[in-house]
Amino acid sequence: MKFVNPAASVFFTDRQTLEGVTDLCIAAHQDDIEIMAYAPIAACYDSGTRDFCGVVVTDGAGSPRSGEYKDYTDEQMKEVRITEQQKAARLGRYRAVAQLGYPSSAVKDGKNPDPVEDIYRLLTEIKPRYLYTHNIADKHDTHVAVALRTIAAVRRMPKELRPERVIGLEVWRGLDWMCDTDKLCLDTGAYPELATELLQVHRSQVEGGKRYDLAAVGRRYANATFFASHNTDSMSSLSFGIDLMPLVETDITPRGFIAEYISRFAAEVDGAIERLS
Ligand SMILES: [Zn+2]
């Protein structure tokens, strides 16, 4: 595949083709895929009909570093993080992982057309059935930027080639705040050891004291436990998602789109307090 950014590359774990990939996750950083998209990774893991592919948009240069990585240069950190992401792809049996190699600043610059163009090229090459990215209420600017660039790229696709589903997922801010009726519930209960190992592969991050391996898995258990609905009785672990299809199918703005969810949440909290006062 030809990308605008010369630093971009695709790593295949086995078969050297993107044909047949059904589930595509577009994430900001190395490890975000394993934090937010475990449900589709697990669904594709042993499936004869679905195949997973990950995309990491940034280059990992700005990664936090401590312990044995403390004195690593940005260039060394990029190498470490690219390799860790490739290990995760092999372990999780992804078809491939594309690393687009953009500095965070380029992704956050809404006037830079290149990240959207490279995401668009991947989308039109793969034509995934299911697309996952960050939710646009995440508190990390680069995550929000990647979600916005992804939505812009999907909007550019001819209607008949667009994914059937586009879902925003949880990393730096869960979606527990959403009204229960607005939440999509994705089952993350399969292969519990794999769920943890995929996070521990990102050794440069986890060993620095940020226990993403415990936190991400713990959030999934908390989501399932504190979600009081009969239809999830069978799920012991789940990720919440937000349905981003209206952003693709209508011309609603991202700001207007998320404001509706936030106002429903505000009304629910306010209503309970009013009722009980
Ligand atoms: Zn991230």
Give the other-Cβ count within 10 Å of 228's Cβ.
Answer: 7
User: Does 233 score more than 70 pLDDT?
Assistant: no
Q: How much distance in Å is there from the Cα of 48 to the middle of ligand 1?
A: 30
| Number of domains, the chain | 1
The pLDDT > 70 percentage for the chain reads 98
Confidence of residue 232 (pLDDT cuts 50, 70, 90): low
Q: How much distance in Å is there from the Cα of 159 to the middle of ligand 1?
A: 29
| Residue 245 confidence (pLDDT) | 97
Two tokens, residue 87: 């290990």
Q: How much distance in Å is there from the Cα of 23 to the middle of ligand 1?
A: 19
- Within a domain: 236: yes
Domain that holds residue 167: 9-251
What are the CA-CA distances from residue 266 to residues 87, 173, 175, 187 (Å)? 42, 17, 14, 27
- Within a domain: 1: no
Angle at the Cα of 35 from the Cα atoms of 101 and 251, rounded to 5 degrees: 70
Confidence of residue 136 (pLDDT cuts 50, 70, 90): very high
- Within a domain: 269: no
| Residue 235 confidence (pLDDT) | 84
- Within a domain: 276: no
What integer is the mean pLDDT of 14-28? Answer: 97
CATH number, domain at 218? 3.40.50.10320
- Within a domain: 266: no
pTM score: 0.96
What integer is the mean pLDDT of 225-247? Answer: 84
